[in-house]
Structure 1
Amino acid sequence: MNVERLRILRELADRGTVAAAASALSLTPSAVSQQLKLLAKEAGVTLLEPDGRRLRLTDAGHALVLRADEVISALDRAAAEMASYGNSPRGRVRVALFPSGAALLLPGVLGRLSGSGTRVDASDEDLPASSVSALLADYDVVLTHRDDVAPATAAMRIEVVPLMREPIDLVLPPDHALAGQGSVDVRQLAEERWISVRGGFPVDDVLLSVAAATGVQPRVVQRINDFRVTEELVARGHGVALMPRFAVVHPRLVRLPLKGVKAGRIYELATRPGAHRLPAVAAVIEAFRAEASQVTGNA
């Protein structure tokens, strides 16, 4: 089977539509459709079937996408191995990171990789863990986070490396009635006004756990995904918030651990299956692991 046609099939699986796959590959939709027809002819089975006005993968198509992952990964490893015999850099690794995780880990990761020949092209992507599969269509490594009790991000076409756990704490203005306590029981928070994040992110998942423990639906007055904005709103008395421990930098805020719920987020690195065997990707993963270990060890 033609490798480039396998790449096209994988793009379709990643992006969902012929038009999106064509745009990613700088091809026309008709060219993509023609290549997929030729691939089906080579495979001897139907790979796609109509689904309304779109196309979807058949069972055989899904199976071939998994094999396409393996073939393309093997070719990438071979290219990396050949490059190691020359004087070329170890390669470019595209990394997506959620913003607060990037602020915490990326500077140290770049420092650890300085002079190694591995180049990191980093982009901030403020998306929930459910979007990892889509992000891997454009990135080699995705730093993601999930709630303590949420299932791991790993799936059939996603491999995951656990990095660290970060507690999620309550943040209050200094004049709040609870500010003098050493910790806060969630039952004390039933009547608070909350500044939270959009749904699907770990902080909001913990707030749902608070609701389950108290039996009271939280009164969310603002939903802001930028923690710097959240800190300013809390500091000026517009509500209380849950924030990851290492993200709190405002000098006036009081940070208290929660009692009564499991409150934390898990950092994970997601890649395509087998990508960790590429030298450049392996170097990036190791740099993240070392930096996460240092952060948690110094906490």
Structure 2
Amino acid sequence: MDAHRLRMLRELADHGTVAAVADVLSMTPSAVSQQLKILAREAGVTLIEPAGRRVRLTDAGRVLVGHAETVLAALDRAAADMDAYRTTARGEVSVSFFPSGAAMLLAPLIIAARARGVEVIGRDIDTPAARAPQQLAEFDVVVVHRDDRDIAEWGPRLSVVPLLREPLDVLLPPGHRLATQHRIQLSDLAAADWIGVEGGLMVDDVFKSIATLTGVPVRITQRVNDFRVVEELVAAGLGIALMPRYVTLARDLVRRPIGDIRLARRVEAVTRVGADARPAIALVLEELRGIAAGVAGQSMSE
């Protein structure tokens, strides 16, 4: 069986539609369908079947995806072994970040990796952390952030490198009634209007955790994803917000920790299992760990 066709079947398992696979692999949907038909003839069984306007894997298709993972992982390891013969990591590594993570980590990563012979190609994409497996069809490394209370497992096909744990503070305008307090209690915020983010993103997951812990829903009056826009709305007195502690503010606003609950986000680098055997990817992960430790250390010393 052709490895490229096996990769298409795996991508179909990850993405769910032929059109999505075609987009990821820069092919036409008809070309993907044709290649999957050839793979079915090679296997001698039906691998996909109609499901409404979509398709789904048959039982045989799901079994073959498992074998495809083994074959493709072996091919990746073989490629990594060949790379390991080089004395110095080289080439390009593509890395996806959530926007505030890119602002914090991308520039120093590019500089540090370039000094060691590796070019980092970075992108900032505002998408839920749960989409990391799909993003890995396009990127070598995906840097995500999650609610610290999110304990969902990534599964055996992915490898995760913890980078940092970042506390979340309350962001207030200077004249707010709570701005003079050193720490704020959740009960002080019961009637507050909050500036939130789109559902599914990290901050929204934290708000859900707060509601679960307190039994009181958080009143979100605006939802914007860009932290700079959040700053403007808070500065205008339109609400308060949660802000990761290491995010640099452009506005003169007040940050205060919540004293009776620990709120934080975890920042992690996700790769496919075995990808870090490539020297260039291993180098990028090493640099990310060092840069993240420096960010956390510098903030604690300020």
Cα-Cα RMSD: 2.2
Runs of at least 5 residues in structure 2 that lack an aligned partner in the other structure: none
Letter in 2 for 1:169: D
1:273 and 1:143 map into 2 onto residues whose CA distance is: 15
One-letter amino acid matched to 2:102: A
* Contiguous gaps of at least 5 residues in structure 1: none
SS of equivalent to 1:293: helix
User: 1:123-147, CA deviations, whole angstroms, 9 ceiling, x for partnerless residues?
Assistant: 1110011211221121111000110
What TM-score, normalized to structure 1?
0.91
Alignment of 1:143-182 (within 5 A): 143-152=143-152, 154-182=154-182
Q: What CA deviation, in whole Å up to 9, does each residue of 1:223-267 have, x standing for no partner?
A: 111111111211221111111111141452111111232300001
**What is the correspondence of 1:15-164 to structure 2 with a 5 Å cutoff?**
15-83=15-83, 90-152=90-152, 154-164=154-164
- 1:183 corresponds to: 183
Q: Which moved more, 1:99-108 or 1:85-94?
A: 85-94
Rounded to whole Å, the distance in 2 between the matches of 1:74 and 1:253 is 52
Q: Is the 8 A contact 1:70 1:274 kept in 2?
A: no
How far off is 1:177 after superposition? 0.9
Q: Work out whether residues 91 and 280 of structure 1, in 8 Å CA contact, stay in contact via their aligned partners in 2.
A: yes
Contact 1:129 1:146 in 2 (8 A): yes
Instruction: Tell me the secondary structure at the aligned position of residue 70 of structure 2.
Output: helix
Contact 2:84 2:278 in 1 (8 A): no
Instruction: Provide closer, same or farther for how the CA distance between residues 114 and 187 of structure 1 changes in structure 2, counting only shifts above 3 A.
Output: same
Name the CA distance, whole Å, in 2 between partners of 1:286 and 1:79: 20
Task: Measure, in 1, the Cα distance between the counterparts of 2:86 and 2:159.
Answer: 30
The Cα shift of 1:295 comes to 1.4
More divergent stretch after superposition (262-271 vs 108-117)? 108-117
C-alpha contact (below 8 Å) 2:235/2:251 kept by paired residues: no
Segment of structure 1 superposing worse, 81-90 or 233-242:
81-90
Query: Kindly tell me: are residues 62 and 163 of structure 1, through their superposed partners in 2, closer, same or farther at Cα, counting changes over 3 Å?
Result: farther
Give the superposition deviation at 1:71: 2.5
Instruction: Measure, in 1, the Cα distance between the counterparts of 2:112 and 2:267.
Output: 19
Matched pairs, number: 299
Partner of 1:193: 193
Could you say which residue in structure 1 is the equivalent of 2:298? Answer: 298
Q: Choose 201-210 or 76-85, whichever is displaced more.
A: 76-85
Output the TM-score relative to the length of structure 2.
0.90
Distance 2:161 2:173 in 1: 36
* Aligned-pair CA distance for 1:109: 1.4
Judged with a 3 Å threshold, the aligned counterparts in structure 2 of structure 1 residues 27 and 171 are, in CA distance, closer, same or farther, namely closer
SS of the equivalent of 1:216 reads coil
Separation in 2, partners of 1:171, 1:31: 51
Which moves more between the two structures, 210-219 or 225-234?
Answer: 210-219
CA contact (8 A) 2:169 2:243 kept: yes
Shift of 1:21: 1.9
Q: CA deviation at 1:214?
A: 4.1
For residues 84-123 of structure 1, what are the alpha-carbon distances to aligned partners after superposition, in whole Å with 9 as ceiling and x for unaligned? 6579972221111000011111122122212322221111
Q: Distance in 2 between matches of 1:42 and 1:87?
A: 40
> Identity of paired residues, percent?
53
Which amino acid is 1:10 matched to?
R
SS at match of 1:210: helix
Distance in 2 between residues matched to 1:86 and 1:185, nearest whole Å: 55
